[in-house]
Structure formats: structure tokens, C-alpha cells
Structure 1
Amino acid sequence: MAAIVQFENVGLRYDQGEEVLRDVSFSFVPGAFYFLTGASGAGKTSLLRLLHLAQRPSRGVIRLFGADVVTLPRARMPMLRRRIGMVYQDFRLVPHLSVTDNIALPLRIADTPEDEVREAVGEMLAWVGLTHRAGAKPATLSGGEQQRVAIARAVVARPDILLADEPTGNVDDAMADRLIQLFASLNQLGTTVVVATHDLNLLPRVPTAQMMRIAAGRLSQPAGGLRAPARRERA
């Protein structure tokens, strides 16, 4: 099965500082679930920034969906990024918008017809268990509720890849389990999922997941040539 993500000897430095990622090489296959583990400051967030096209590498080759993102014209970046969902550790919800409007934001940016927006958002609210909070503002939500809104916003456009940066860092164990199960159910529908975490207790909760370990900017257990799980069609 062809890889949807390929990194070849990738290095990253910010400004003139030392490299924060060094000689990183791996590939992702469609429909797999990956845990990216490592201590704080190991380079997990920097790697996710490269995957989300928020940063270009200082050296090396990155291919996403067959496109060389190092040489890709900036005008083509937004279209590629729409195929990638991102769940941030600090949620990044728009404070003056309701839960419904936060989730709808990616669809409205893409000029999706409003009737399709309403249907998709309704499905997402039910999926994350927040239909009763549809009109609430982020400040009135608990940390777990905010994270579920962030997840719904990230997947409402049905991305091919979902990235999550320490998604369970601000919630209790019961909510962490619920969030991981949401990621697992999305993965079962065919989305490639990458969860960055320092919490190794999460790994047994997704028995089919592959693990990547990063330390001091280097992958000590890269992912590549992995067998994807059986793909299920979305309803």
C-alpha cells in the first residue's frame, strides 16, 4: 500500500538555532493509527507542525499525498491542508463563537452550502455527545467539553489525516479514555490518526496502534512499511 506521508532525512531548525529535529525518516500508510511518544521538548510538536504544513523543513524531503511539500507553491498549500485535521493541546476555540459555529468554521471557510454545514455539524455534535451544548460559548465548557469541540471541528470536513497534540493533557483519566475512543472510532472509518503524547498509559487503549518514539529531535522507533488495518466505509 502506497504511503500517504513520507519523511526522508528531514531536519528542522528555527531561525539560526540548533536543529530541533534531526535526520527524521518515516512513512505512514493509509488507515493506520500512530502514537508519537516522547518527553516534553523532545520534538513532538515540531514534527506535527511539519505534518500540518505549518512549517517547512530546513532540509530533507517531505511528501504528503504524493506532493513534495518542500517545493510546493504556497498557493497550493490550503487545498492540501484541508485534507489534514489538527487538534491542539490548548483547544484554540474562537471565544465569541458558539460550539456550533466553532465546529462549522472549517466548512464555512471552504464555502460549503449552509444546509450541508448544518447537517455535518449536527452529526459531529451527536458523535462527541455535545448536542445539548450546541449554543454554549467556549468559556462555559469544561476542559473535556472544549477538547471534544476541538476534535469535532478538526474532523467535520472528513480529513484523510487527523493530528492531535497531547489531546488528553488537560482532562481526567475517564475523559482521556473517551477521547481516545473517539479517535479510534474515527480511525475505524479509514482516517489515519496520529496522537502525540507523553502518556504511555494511553497506548494499550488502542491495541492496533503503531508507536513512534522521539527523543532529542531524533526518532528512535520510526514508523514505516506498516500494514494498514482493514478499511471500513463511512456511512
Structure 2
Amino acid sequence: MATIVQFENVGLRYGSGTETLSDISFSLQSGAFYFLTGASGAGKTSLLRLMYLAQRPSRGIIRLFGEDAVVLPRDRLPGFRRRIGVVFQDFRLVPHLSAWDNIALPLHVAGMPVAEINEAVREMLAWVGLADRAEARPATLSGGEQQRVAIARAVIARPELLVADEPTGNVDPEMADRLIHLFGSLGKLGTTVVVATHDLHLLTRLPQAQMMRLDRGRLHDPTGLLRFPTAAA
């Protein structure tokens, strides 16, 4: 399998304080599913921000899709970001757009024909259980409904890399299982999926998933499924 994401001795520091992330090294493979776990404040959101190019590291090398993302020119960033789907903790829906139009947005940006967009959005709304809320705007949706719209928007374009920050935090356990299996099905289409969660129950839902655990800004490998290079390597 191709390597989609590679970190080499990455560190992240905000301002002049201590490092939020230290000596992070790992590789993520095409079509694989990874859970990113760790206590609150361990650095999960910061690590995801580095993956979807919202933050540059203080040191180290990050390669995405085979290219050095740290030195990527600004004019190439939009094209790279279109290859990445992101589910944010705070949803970040466009407030004046309906659920339908929020979900359709990545496909419009990609230039997909309207007929194909309509079919894809209709299918996605049904999958996340919001077929009857297509015309609702975010302010009229519950937190769980907004989360499902945000997830549908992130996955509809079948990104090469999907990163999700606590994507099941606002939905009931049944919907959480459904969404995790939706993420898992993307892997069969070649998408690399990284889900940050503190919900240990979810870790049992996809036996094929691998686990990355952050502890105070450093990665640990409790399962042995991921091999993180050492400085000597």
C-alpha cells in the first residue's frame, strides 16, 4: 500500500512555551483506518491540524501524498486540501446554507455536474438519517444533526485522507456505530481514515483498525500494530 501520510521527528510549539507535540514519527497507509486516542490535552487536535495543513510544525518533516507539505507553496495548498476531508469538533457549517447545500459544497467546488451532485447528496442524507432535514439550516438543527451534516460534507467527495476530531461526540451510540462503519467503508474505496476519540467503546467496532495513542504530546504504540521509527533508525 502507498504511504499517504508520513511524519518524521515532528515537533509543535505554540509561542515560546513547551512543545505540545514532541518527536512524532509514523506512517499511514492508503485505505487503512486509525484511531487516535489520548486524554484531554494530549495533543490529538494539534496532531490532526498538522495532518490537514491548518498548522505548520515547529520542526521535523511532514509528507502528504508523497510530497513535503512543510515547504509546500501557498498557491498549492487549496489543491492539497481538496484531497483531505475534515470533520471538526465545532462542525463549521456555513450558517446561511441548508443541510443539502452544506453537504453539496465540496462537489460544487470540484466541478461535478449538478445531476450527479443531487444523486450523491440525496444518498448521503439518507445514510446519515437526515433525508427529512435537507432544507434545514444549521441554526435549526440539533447538535447531533449538525454533526451528521458535517460528517456527510467531509466524506461525500471520497477524499484520499479523512481526519475526524471526536466525530461521534454529539450522536447516540447507534448512530455512532453507523458513522464509524461509514468511515470504515471509505477505506475499501482507498481513503485513509484517522478518527480522534476518547470513546474506548468505538475501538471495538472496527477490529481491523489500528490505534495510535498520544500521551502528553508523545506517541505510544500499545497494540504493536504501528511501528514508529526511533531516532537511531
Note the C-alpha offset of 1:76.
Answer: 0.7
TM value normalised by structure 2: 0.90
> 1:65-120 CA distances to partner (integer Å, 9 max, x unpaired)?
00100111111111111111000112111222101111112222344443333232
Q: Distance in 2 between matches of 1:178 and 1:138?
A: 22
**3-state SS in 2 of match to 1:4:** strand
User: Residue 144 of structure 1 aligns with which residue?
Assistant: 144
TM value normalised by structure 1: 0.90
> 1:174-220 CA distances to partner (integer Å, 9 max, x unpaired)?
23222212212222332211100111111001110000000110001
Contact 2:11/2:24 (<8 A) preserved: yes
Contact 1:34/1:195 (<8 A) preserved: yes
User: Residue 47 of structure 2 aligns with which residue?
Assistant: 47
User: Residue 79 of structure 1 aligns with which residue?
Assistant: 79
Q: Distance in 2 between matches of 1:163 and 1:206?
A: 16
Q: Distance in 1 between matches of 2:31 and 2:119?
A: 25
**3-state SS in 2 of match to 1:149:** helix
The reply on whether 1:198 has 2:194 as its aligned counterpart is no
Structure 1: gaps of 5 or more residues: 227-235
User: Residue 165 of structure 1 aligns with which residue?
Assistant: 165
User: Residue 65 of structure 1 aligns with which residue?
Assistant: 65
- The one-letter code sitting in structure 1 at the alignment partner of 2:30 is P
Note the C-alpha offset of 1:150.
Answer: 0.7
Q: Distance in 2 between matches of 1:147 and 1:187?
A: 21
Give the RMSD, CA atoms, in angstroms: 1.8
User: Residue 115 of structure 1 aligns with which residue?
Assistant: 115
Structure 2: gaps of 5 or more residues: 229-233
User: Residue 233 of structure 1 aligns with which residue?
Assistant: none
Q: Distance in 2 between matches of 1:43 and 1:94?
A: 27
Tell which deviates more after alignment, 215-224 or 97-106: 215-224
Q: Distance in 2 between matches of 1:199 and 1:147?
A: 16
- The one-letter code sitting in structure 2 at the alignment partner of 1:162 is L
Q: Distance in 1 between matches of 2:31 and 2:196?
A: 17
**3-state SS in 1 of match to 2:211:** strand
Q: Distance in 1 between matches of 2:119 and 2:171?
A: 29
- The one-letter code sitting in structure 1 at the alignment partner of 2:166 is E
Are the structure 2 counterparts of residues 155 and 3 from structure 1 closer, same or farther at C-alpha, using a change threshold of 3 Å? same
Query: Across the two proteins, how many residue pairs are aligned to each other?
Result: 226
Q: Distance in 2 between matches of 1:171 and 1:17?
A: 35
User: Residue 231 of structure 2 aligns with which residue?
Assistant: none
- The one-letter code sitting in structure 1 at the alignment partner of 2:27 is S
The reply on whether 1:28 has 2:19 as its aligned counterpart is no
Note the C-alpha offset of 1:224.
Answer: 4.2
Note the C-alpha offset of 1:3.
Answer: 1.0
Contact 2:84/2:159 (<8 A) preserved: yes
Moved over 6 A (4+): none
Q: Distance in 1 between matches of 2:51 and 2:225?
A: 14
Q: Distance in 2 between matches of 1:223 and 1:68?
A: 25
Note the C-alpha offset of 1:223.
Answer: 6.4
